[in-house]
Amino acid sequence: MSNSILKIENLQAKIGDKQILKGLNLELEPGKVHAIMGPNGAGKSTLSKALVGHYDVELTGGDIIYKGKNINEMEPEERALEGIFLSFQHPVEIPGVNNAYFLRTALNAKRKHEGKEALNAAEFLRLMRDHLEMLGMKSDMISRSLNEGFSGGEKKRNEILQMLILEPEVIILDEIDSGLDIDALRAVSEGINKMKDGKRSFLVITHYSRILDYIEPDYIHVLKDGKVIKTAGPELVAQLEEHGYDAIEEE
């Protein structure tokens, strides 16, 4: 797999004094959907935070190579501008920051980075309208404060809306499906599928096979105790559901 878009080599990371990632290896291929499954506390969210440069996570070894370049030290906003996106497991509420204004600021930062012209408020709203409809989001959700008072499902839809607008190249979804009702799950999956273009790659962290029925992963990785201990095709899901993680032997 030399054509990987993101390559994680022997990654070691701490949160506080605790070693969480213990030599993790993973490669994301362009155009592919990678699912990560694993027990609670295995380090899945820590991995996703490490990839976007979260302040909680201190890298103590290994490399994150994005498009051939080591990004271990890259600033979070720079990673975003370069095309890495994380949908947070628990998106934060920001009272007083208007959702639409936030989204437009983010989009225009990206456009500026790419040498494109900024969109004005009207152009932006036009761009957003279709996405909102597809995601089943009420239009008042974009005129409200960012995530403030949003239900769990609304927050997740809002994360997907950001993904659709920012059009990133590596998309990390940390439990995007947790707490979603069936309609929301379908809408969110549709949003994800819409982003598949044969080039983008996806890293989908989940505990359930439900979402995988919709978005059809190419690979399943099992993350346990800070390492990827197994990689297989989608058939692994059924096996995991039946026997649990304890039955998996490190390869």
| Contacts to ligand ATP by CB under 6 A | 15-16, 18, 20, 38, 40-46, 56
Q: Which residue has the tokens 């490399």?
A: 63
Of another protein, Mg ion, ligand ATP, none, which one sits near residue 191, judging by CB under 5 to 8 A according to partner kind?
A: none
**Residue 153 burial (CB count, 10 A):** 18
Residue 3 φ then ψ, to 5°: -95, 25
Cα 188 vs. chain centroid, distance in angstroms? Answer: 13
User: At 38, which amino acid appears?
Assistant: G
Q: Which of 14, 30, 102, 231 binds another protein (CB under 8 A)?
A: 102
3-state secondary structure of 125: helix
Packed helices 152-166 and 182-195: angle between N→C axes, nearest 10 degrees:
10
Taking CB under 5 A as the rule, does residue 45 contact Mg ion?
yes
The answer to whether residue 105 forms part of the interface with another protein (CB under 8 A) is yes
Residue 52 contact among another protein, Mg ion, ligand ATP, none, beta carbon within 5 to 8 Å by kind: another protein
Q: Within 120-159, which residues bind another protein (CB under 8 A)?
A: 145
Nearer to another protein, 106 or 119 (CB): 106
Residue 62 CB, shortest distance to another protein, in Å, is 21
**CA-angle at 65, arms to 103 and 167, nearest 5°:** 25
Number of H helices, E strands in the chain: 9, 12
Instruction: Please give the residue ranges that form the binding site for another protein (CB under 8 A).
Output: 52-55, 75-77, 79-81, 86, 88, 91-92, 94-97, 102, 105-106, 109-110, 113, 145, 162, 166
